[in-house]
């Protein structure tokens, strides 16, 4: 196919495949609902983070208590072991 | 005057504040809508699928990784996949009507010539519709969304040269379809289809 004929064909296709505009109402409504979805997803992310922080803090607190109790027991035992020697 | 932020800059901002997604949406809504519209053939499904494309992009934006492929190509890939699912789910490709597709005539056309021209356009649209999906996609991206061969290559996962070659073969196939393999016009050929046949006779 020569360049000219190819250009003719391209011109024909170009005349048929013309860009269309989506309705303004559709564009506006979709933007609004995307903004809402973005906000919801942000809020749910914040909620998830908050829950994760709470769970983390609770776990840390429990772990600290357990470590404290264990340290106390170890200290008590070592003191008891030391006393008969005196 | 400051340059508008690039797509990549906007994507980085969206990861911190998802409301910025609206800017990306405004940048691409018409292009994606056009792509979907010409792939489905009607406004109702074009609106539905365009909405899904942007929802999916918003929800999965963390999955977009800059590996040299632009954000727009990622968006078109989402649209491509959704349209493919749509064709599979509805299994209606054969009965898809392109009557909705805008067929615009020029103001100078008489009623008869306008009818003739519309018939020709319908024939050409029918020929485009009968092309394999990737060729239809190429024509839509080129003529409706006005993308370059390089951009189309990034979307379709091919080299610029491969797109150029596919484009050439597509035009050739369309022309053969309209004129016929023996150089004879199909029944009802008129207007600019006849013009195309005349130009084919010149060589």
DSSP for chain B, please give it.
-PPPPPHHHHHHHHHH-GGGHHHHHHHHHHHHHHHHHHHHSSHHHHHHHHHHHHHHHHHTGGG---SSS-HHHHHHHHHHHHHHHHHHHH--GGG---TTS-----TT--HHHHHHHHHHHHHHHHHHHTS-HHHHHHHIIIIIS---HHHHHHHHT--HHHHHHHHHHHHHHHHHHHH-TTSPPPTT--HHHHHHHHHHHT-
Give the CA angle between residues A43, A45, A46 to the nearest 5°.
65
Measured between beta carbons, the chain B residues lying within 8 angstroms of A42 are 17-19
Interface test with B, best of A2, A4, A7, A9 (most B CBs within 10 A): A9
A16: closest chain B residue by CA: B121
pTM above 0.95, yes or no: no
A3: closest chain B residue by CA: B168
Give me the pLDDT at residue B188, please: 44
Interface test with A, best of B171, B195, B197 (most A CBs within 10 A): B171
The ipTM of this complex is 0.73
Asked whether the predicted pLDDT for residue B164 surpasses 90, the reply is yes
Choice among A52-61, B35-44, B143-152 with the minimum mean pLDDT: A52-61
Among the partner residues B22, B128, B175, nearest to A34 by beta-carbon distance: B22
The tens-digit pLDDT sequence of chain A (86 residues) is 555 566 778 888 998 899 999 999 999 999 999 988 888 876 776 777 788 888 888 899 999 999 999 999 999 988 888 876 55
Residues B138, B139, B143, B149, Cα dihedral to 10°: 30
Q: Distance of alpha carbon A3 from its chain centroid, rounded?
A: 53
Task: Determine whether the interchain pair A33/B51 forms a contact, defined as Cβ–Cβ distance below 8 Å.
Answer: yes
Task: Determine whether the interchain pair A30/B54 forms a contact, defined as Cβ–Cβ distance below 8 Å.
Answer: yes
Q: How many CB pairs under 8 A join A and B?
A: 106
Q: Distance of alpha carbon B40 from its chain centroid, rounded?
A: 10
Please, which residues 13-72 of chain A have a Cβ atom closer than 8 Å to chain B? 13-23, 26-27, 30-31, 33-35, 37-39, 41-42
* Per-chain mean pLDDT for chain B: 81
Among the partner residues A12, A31, A34, nearest to B124 by beta-carbon distance: A12
Interface test with A, best of B16, B31, B42, B47 (most A CBs within 10 A): B47
If pLDDT is split at 50, 70 and 90, which confidence band does B97 have?
very low
Task: Determine whether the interchain pair B199/A6 forms a contact, defined as Cβ–Cβ distance below 8 Å.
Answer: no
Measured between beta carbons, the chain B residues lying within 8 angstroms of A26 are 47, 50
B51: closest chain A residue by CA: A30
Mean pLDDT along residues B103-115: 57
Task: Determine whether the interchain pair B30/A1 forms a contact, defined as Cβ–Cβ distance below 8 Å.
Answer: no
């Amino acid at each position: 196919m020569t360049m000219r004929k190819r250009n003719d064909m391209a011109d024909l296709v170009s005349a048929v495949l013309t860009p269309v505009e989506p309705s303004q109402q559709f564009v506006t409504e979709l933007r609004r609902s995307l903004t809402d979805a973005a906000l919801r997803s942000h809020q749910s992310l914040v909620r998830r983070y908050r829950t994760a922080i709470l769970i983390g803090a609770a776990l840390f607190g429990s772990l600290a208590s357990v470590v404290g109790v264990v340290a106390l027991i170890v200290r008590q035992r070592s003191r008891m072991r030391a006393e008969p020697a005196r | 005057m400051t340059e508008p932020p690039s797509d990549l800059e906007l994507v980085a901002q969206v990861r911190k504040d998802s409301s910025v997604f609206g800017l990306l949406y405004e940048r691409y809504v018409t292009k994606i809508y056009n792509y979907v519209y010409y792939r489905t053939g009607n406004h109702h499904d074009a609106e539905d699928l365009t909405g899904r494309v942007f929802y999916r992009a918003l929800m999965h934006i963390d999955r977009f990784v800059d590996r040299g492929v632009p954000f727009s190509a990622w968006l078109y890939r989402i649209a491509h996949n959704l349209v493919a699912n749509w064709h599979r789910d509805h299994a209606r490709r054969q009965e898809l009507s392109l009557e909705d597709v805008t067929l615009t005539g020029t103001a100078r056309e008489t009623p008869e010539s306008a009818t003739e021209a519309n018939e020709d356009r319908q024939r050409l649209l029918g020929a485009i519709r009968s092309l394999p999906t990737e060729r239809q996609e190429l024509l839509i991206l080129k003529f409706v969304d006005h993308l370059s061969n390089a951009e189309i290559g990034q979307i379709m996962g091919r080299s610029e040269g491969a797109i150029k070659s596919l484009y050439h073969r597509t035009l050739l196939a369309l022309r053969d379809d309209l004129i016929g393999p023996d150089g004879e016009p199909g029944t009802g050929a008129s207007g600019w289809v006849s013009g195309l046949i005349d130009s084919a006779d010149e060589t």
